[in-house]
Structure 1
Amino acid sequence: MRTQVAIIGSGPSGLLLGQLLHDAGIDTVILERKSRDYVLARIRAGVLEQGTVGLLDKVGAGSRLHAEGLPHDGFDLLFGGQRHRIALDRLTGGRHVTIYGQTEMTRDLMDLRAAQGGKTVFEAGDVALHDFDGASPYVTFRTGGVTQRLDCDFIAGCDGYHGVSRASVSESALTILERVYPFGWLGILADVPPVSHELIYARSGRGFALCSMRSGTRSRYYVQCGQDERVDDWTDARFWDELRRRLDPETAEALVTGPSIEKSIAPLRSFVAEPIRFGRLFLAGDAAHIVPPTGAKGLNLAASDVHYLSEAMIEHFIEGSPAGLDGYSAKALARIWKAERFSWWLTSLMHQFPENGPFAQRMQQAELDYLVSSDHAMAALAENYVGLPY
């Protein structure tokens, strides 16, 4: 087989890149090591910046999002037993975010690609990247027990933190910058109405909590937990009891509980690989960076990577200019680090750290008090939350 761009991974970043290139007349093949059903069963976040929504609209994958998504003009910070609303629309000149599950976004993009005849190989095993430092890269993989070769002009590594793309790069060519946080998030999904029509980010003496949702009838809740915690040790009753303890009395009283559909613990880390171009291999999304989920930047940061990469590839194929590709790594990393800073800052502000003593805890409290008393400080938070410009 031959294609212009081989895309490794059929998550949102790979699918969105494939659609943007398809619309420009550029041929792509997506290789995915898992099945379609497996990809669509993954539970992920779903707070979308307007830039991400704009990209979905651009490729024609936004109709269900606009019909079923929940636009949010603000969110609450809860600390000291009180909720403080951050009015995103007022503070950013009318901008907002949209609640729409990553799984649904993936489904919409998969369906669109299939309807337009885009080539995706699911359950592609033993994927290996070859000669991306030269002029003729190619990818080998196994499907149906047969090894196949896919020749291409470029390879886009959109296969996540544990994927083969970044792992194929020589360690000497990579700089890895990382912080692993000393806690995780225990999250549950339940078919119960959300406790609030907007998200609540809560800081308490017992740790962080987040009240979120996927729809008007399905809720997503998280509590900060220790690194050594086991999901099996957390019954539904224990989770709901702990969540109530981290909320103000009025919110705790209004909380509707029910059996969990899904329950998992996610570790938290900040991670960046530099650079994110290696000859004819380009990394995007979680293959290039990880952010803590605080502030909902992961999926949106992948979308901005894809925006930059698609424009660069279109410039190469349509206009014959290498400028965009040559500048991709630096341009994308500039925005990546801004999002890393915001996610690190909000995580540091809202969580209990084992090493923090009374002084550090008072500093967190002082910063929160200042934040909600200053329109300038809240505007900086809101600007980052709704998404910095591409």
Structure 2
Amino acid sequence: MKILLSDAVFTDGTVYRDHGVVFDKTIVEMAPNDELRERYAGQCSELGEGSVLLPGLINSHVHLEFSANRSTLTYGEFMPWLSSVISSRDDLINGCDDGCIAHAVDTMLSNGITAFGAVSSYGFDLDACAGASQKVVYFNELIGSDPAMADALYGNFQERLFASQQIEREGFYPSIAIHSPYSVHRVLIQKALKYAKEKSLRVSAHLLESPAEREWLDNNSGPFQNFFQNFLKQSQAANTVEEFLGYFDDIPTLFTHVVQARDKELSQIAQRGHSVIHCPISNRLLGVGALDLQRLSSHDIRFICGTDGLSSNYALNLFEEMKIALFTHYSDDLPALAQQLWKGVGIHAAEAMGLNCGTIAPNYDADILVTRVNYPINDQLPIHLITQPPRIESIYIQGEHIR
């Protein structure tokens, strides 16, 4: 059993001054330092001035297979970016071997990310994710809108999914991702979701990221029209938004982006208990607009945070993601937004992803960051931790000292 006494514990939006944590694999208790010193005399580790204990951060959405990208892809608008991904895909995939992906995973760990949702298109990141120190929700992605190729596409998806289900380690969760409403045929979606429900697998999907997607799904027109005609000889969207959301009615799903959603769709997301993953840096780089957090709040939808991958980000760092979000949503109340962001990389993310972490509270996994700040600790700590990120000194996952 370990007892860490700190200047402050920050969890679930509350700052606890002069508190410590008792834990083994799970958290036993959090209490004032004086109480813990009295009850555990000689067993306590005094962390000293400026020490802050935080729950390990949860990155709910990341693509690791494109981690070789630095300056290859085109930013500014969604369609030029997508075209650049397609033209550079082979080079980027071949340029990121197991070592490249493992480096991205380790970078996340060094940035305090102790759990992540990896969306895998090809299965090339499986070994690195299986060997990661972190908890991993491994989303095998299903893609393909051509009905003539349905059997082959589903067979490839099954092969990758079954391979991930062979991984036997605590904290690794094989899961399913449906790429998007425009890129997956309804037969494939329904088949995959039937399996997900039978096996109680977690599910994720991209949804309404760009104006081009919105126009294509609503009217079969716009920039996606030429794209689908040229690449897939398709003149009609694979699904409408209403049809797509209907497939997920009885399976809580992590929907990523949702920037272009309307009130009707947000109401459906709320009623069905789905979650929204916010990736503000990716949204800005791809020019798709900003998620309207106030509209989400009006529908009582909690958002959580993800970095997306290095194909649409410059870092896998949730401190940076939260900072960009603070300035992107400039009309939102700053202290309240900071609290929402912390819960979006903590307890709310854990609940949405079905993980027993994201908070410092009894019976939760002891995923803990030992950090230090060089400024006075006060009630604005949630903002300061984002704008002036702490130094991470130690990382514990399920009570094990990882680094």
TM-score (ref. length: structure 2): 0.24
Higher strand share: 1
TM-score (ref. length: structure 1): 0.25
